[in-house]
Amino acid sequence: MPRLSVNIDHVATVREARKTFEPEPVAAAVMAQLGGADGIIVHLREDRRHIQDRDVYLLKEVVSTKLNLEMAATDEIVRIALNVKPDMATLVPERREELTTEGGLDVAGNLSRIAETVSTLKRGGIRVSLFVDPSLDQVAAAKRAGADIIEIHTGAYAEADSEAEAEQRFRDAAVAARKAYTLGLRVAVGHGLTYHNVKRFTRIPEIEEFSIGHSIISRAVLVGLERAVRDMAALLKD
Ligand code: PXP
């Protein structure tokens, strides 16, 4: 049975829109776990656009399932990861001007630097996942870099312009998952997965885990809106 890890970055995005204290990502993590999440993911970006350092420290105390810290392989964030000691870290590429993570990590092109970061984190007792495009070269490089897990980037699948292209991207992911599995890597998938496009990935037996954020938080805003308005209307009329 595949597991679901929920990325709660966008709870913090709403908070940071006003630089206030709500909604509280730690509360969101607790509720996601109540709902059945098998893990909580946050991305501590260098520009701190959503998740803040204090969130990560508090989540480490509160998350009882598994805390996965998404991060760039920079000295500053590696230092924080070694202090916090999340259950696992996922190394991702990061560019300040991007809206969200845009591509997989080029492990093959930066093997020694990434292998060094993987080894530093693992020495700190943190399992390491590498976020890679569904490319056999990148999967093989992730193994050489010492990763425990790969997360296959499903963005190209999610953004496919036609069903034929989506099917091809899906097959690319299936082939990459198989290769990773045969190399002894554990396999996750994520990015751009929604209630409408995720189901077919459950046909890939090597996938242990789904990392899903934006679509779940988007749905939460709408399924919770009626109740929230009702509560405010009742307060005003009381
Ligand atoms: N996995 C990784 C490595 C990511 O960078 C992200 C986005 O932060 C996700 C999964 C979740 O993607 P989405 O928010 O599109 O579900």
Cα separation, 198 vs 210, in Å, equals: 9
Q: How far is CA 58 from CA 46, 53, 61, 70, 211, in A?
A: 18, 9, 5, 16, 21
Ligand 1 atom with the smallest distance to the CA of 217 is 14
Residue 212: CB within 6 Å of ligand 1?
yes
Q: Give pLDDT, residue 223.
A: 97
Nearest residue (CA) to ligand 1, atom 7: 191
Catalytic site includes residue 153: no
Residue 13: CB within 6 Å of ligand 1?
no
Closest CA to 127 of 57, 186, 40, 83: 186
% residues pLDDT > 70 (the chain): 99
Q: Which residues of 190-211 are buried (b: 16+ CB within 10 A; e: fewer)?
A: bbbbeeebbeebeebebbbbbb
Catalytic site includes residue 163: no
> Which residue in the block uniquely carries the two structure tokens 């990590």?
105
Query: Please, what is the average pLDDT of the chain?
Result: 96
Arithmetic mean of pLDDT, 80-98: 91
Cα separation, 99 vs 121, in Å, equals: 27
Arithmetic mean of pLDDT, 87-95: 92
Phi, psi of 93 (to 5 degrees): -75, 155
**DSSP H or E run through 7:** strand 3-7
Q: Give pLDDT, residue 94.
A: 79
Catalytic site includes residue 10: no
**Which pLDDT tens digit goes with each residue over 102-155?**
789 999 999 999 999 999 999 999 999 999 999 999 999 999 999 999 999 999
Cα separation, 13 vs 229, in Å, equals: 21
Ligand 1 atom with the smallest distance to the CA of 194 is 16
φ/ψ region of 212 (left if φ > 0, alpha if ψ in -120 to 50, else beta) reads beta
Arithmetic mean of pLDDT, 87-93: 97
Closest CA to 56 of 37, 69, 46: 69
Cα 212 to averaged position of ligand 1 atoms, centre (Å): 6
Model confidence at 97: pLDDT above 80: no
C-alpha 227: how far from chain center: 28
Q: Give pLDDT, residue 68.
A: 98
Arithmetic mean of pLDDT, 38-44: 98
Closest CA to 130 of 163, 89, 159: 89
> Which residue in the block uniquely carries the two structure tokens 């490319």?
135
More confident residue, 108 or 97: 108
Arithmetic mean of pLDDT, 196-225: 98
Task: Provide the pLDDT confidence category of residue 96 given band limits of 50, 70 and 90.
Answer: low
Nearest residue (CA) to ligand 1, atom 4: 191
What is the number of alpha carbons within 13 Å of residue 26 lying toward its C-beta? 12
Q: Give pLDDT, residue 192.
A: 98
Cα separation, 68 vs 156, in Å, equals: 23
Nearest residue (CA) to ligand 1, atom 12: 191
% residues pLDDT > 90 (the chain): 95
